[in-house]
Amino acid sequence: MGEEQKFMYVTNEMSKEIEERIPPDEIAYDLADLYKVFSDTTRIRILYALSCTELCVYDISTVVGMSQSAISHQLRVLKQAKLVKYRREGKTIFYSLADKHIDTILSQGLEHVQE
């Protein structure tokens, strides 16, 4: 009728290794929140723009093609998630990626979806 199902039974040793690999709930929640931030197309586009160079809100809005207020809102979300950082120069605030990990996440995600 159908294919025979094969079951793998986890040994106690394997079970312990698996349990050790699964992060505690608090960290799992934080990780899930991080990935939620990546679930918005506008935020992804902003992160890609910032992966090239630091930019002010005006430049980001020009590149992404959205209003400055919409960009500011998304930047607030990205700052709260610690994905972008900023520096002030006079009245202008320049944004950039918080660290190399963000660029790595973007690159690996793109590679994965293009396979």
Residue 54, domain CATH: 1.10.10.10
The answer to whether residue 33 is domain-embedded is no
The answer to whether residue 4 is domain-embedded is no
Report pTM. Answer: 0.84
Report the percent of the chain where pLDDT is more than 90.
85
The answer to whether residue 15 is domain-embedded is no
Identify the domain containing residue 98 by its residue range: 40-114
Query: Exposed, middle or buried by CB within 10 Å (0-12, 13-18, 19+), for 47?
Result: buried
113 Ramachandran zone, left/alpha/beta (phi>0; psi -120 to 50): alpha
Q: How many domains does the chain contain in total?
A: 1
The answer to whether residue 12 is domain-embedded is no
The answer to whether residue 87 is domain-embedded is yes
Q: What is the mean pLDDT of the chain?
A: 93
Give residue-wise pLDDT tens across range 63-84. 999 999 999 999 999 999 999 9
The answer to whether residue 10 is domain-embedded is no
The answer to whether residue 9 is domain-embedded is no
